[in-house]
Amino acid sequence: MHLWWSTADSEPFLLQEIHRAFPTRDILRPAPGFIGLDSIPSDSGPMAFAAQTLPGARIIAAPSIRAWADQLTDAIVADLPEDAPWHLHLAPCYGQGSAGLNRCGFIRESLLDGLKRRRRHRLRSLHPSTDSLQPGAGLVQALLSAPDAGFLSVLPPDTVDAWRSSLVPCPAGDIPVASDKSAPSRAFSKLVEAEIRLGRRIGPEQTVIDLGASPGSWTYVAVNRGARVMSVDRSPLRDDLMGHPRVTFHQGDAFQFAPAAPVDWLICDVIAAPDRSIGLVLDWVRRGWARQFVVTIKFKGSAEYEKLDGLKRELAPLCREFRLSRLCANRNEACVMGIIR
């Protein structure tokens, strides 16, 4: 079964998104927040309202912590290659509070304890990161829909690669919202989240155009990574960024701006109608003005969410990979990020 998991505020929109993408297919609703199809042949691209994707998911019934750990061990041994690194995403998708988190903690302990005693090499190849999917690593996802039930998806490394545009590198797709009191605003966390989703960070000496840059949190992230930034807005940035040696400020309209030469990154957080932001990202991608991009799309209401379907269709042939997602750092926005062919 192919499953998507979404949070309660996204679930109705995810259901509509799946209906539009697969109009003739029967949709499965095996547990609250979990929506699926019996299978899909290959990665059909990201679902903007899915928090996480579980390809090849199976239903698990496990009455005890030990039963969870045993079933996970069996699946790891059967489905992952002996020597490959792997990631473990184990998360509760039910209830409020800490009970589910505690249960997952105990399941994890029991699993690791069992591996230590009987499958030590599997334990050694467990990759510690829960905010990146390393190239060449497999992925084991166990999402609990209740204390004694849930879904398990085990992807060997080549399958992780095949599904990469739909997979979020954090358990249950829950990306912790970053904070930095020195940043000009909380918008800071959106760009950090986009980098995690894409699995790429802005790097030293890279060139960046930041459209709709004021007061400057995205520019702040980019210069802190060592990049050179051209920041475009009608309003100036915070004073220290206006005077920063690697920032050039251009006062003007983001939609009229064209770079003198292609850049490494387009980052854009302009407040505009969705059609305008969608048009902007497609224009930059078609013209090859940036090798990578992160662009937010802001909505006034859910009636506009359908517009993301067209964006996905248009971007697919133009990009080596792209992601499209509602952000954990701002539930009212979608963010599209990608790497151009």
Ligand X SMILES: C[S@@+](CC[C@H](N)C(=O)[O-])C[C@H]1O[C@@H](n2cnc3c(N)ncnc32)[C@H](O)[C@@H]1O
- Note the residues at the interface with ligand X (CB under 6 A): 184-185, 187, 212-218, 232-235, 253-255, 269-272
Alpha carbons 52 and 2: distance in angstroms, whole number:
11
Q: For residues 14 and 221, which CB has a smaller minimum distance to ligand X in the complex?
A: 221
Q: For residues 93 and 329, which CB has a smaller minimum distance to ligand X in the complex?
A: 329
| Strand partners of residue 263 | 290
Buried-state track 25-40, b at ≥16 Cβ within 10 A, e below 16: eeeeebbebbbbbeeb
Q: For residues 115 and 209, which CB has a smaller minimum distance to ligand X in the complex?
A: 209
From the CB of 298, what's the least distance to ligand X, in Å? 8
From the CB of 50, what's the least distance to ligand X, in Å? 25
From the CB of 287, what's the least distance to ligand X, in Å? 18
**What is the CA 249 to chain-centroid distance, rounded?**
30
Alpha carbons 207 and 204: distance in angstroms, whole number:
9
Q: For residues 25 and 298, which CB has a smaller minimum distance to ligand X in the complex?
A: 298
- Region of 235 please: left (phi>0), alpha (psi -120 to 50) or beta: beta
From the CB of 251, what's the least distance to ligand X, in Å? 9
From the CB of 321, what's the least distance to ligand X, in Å? 23
Q: For residues 105 and 236, which CB has a smaller minimum distance to ligand X in the complex?
A: 236
Q: For residues 175 and 187, which CB has a smaller minimum distance to ligand X in the complex?
A: 187
From the CB of 306, what's the least distance to ligand X, in Å? 23
Residue 192's contacts (CB-CB under 8 Å, 6 or more residues apart) are: 178, 221, 329
Q: Which two three-digit tokens encode residue 209?
A: 């155009």
How far lies 19's CA from each of 14, 16, 27, 49, 132, in Å? 8, 5, 8, 12, 30
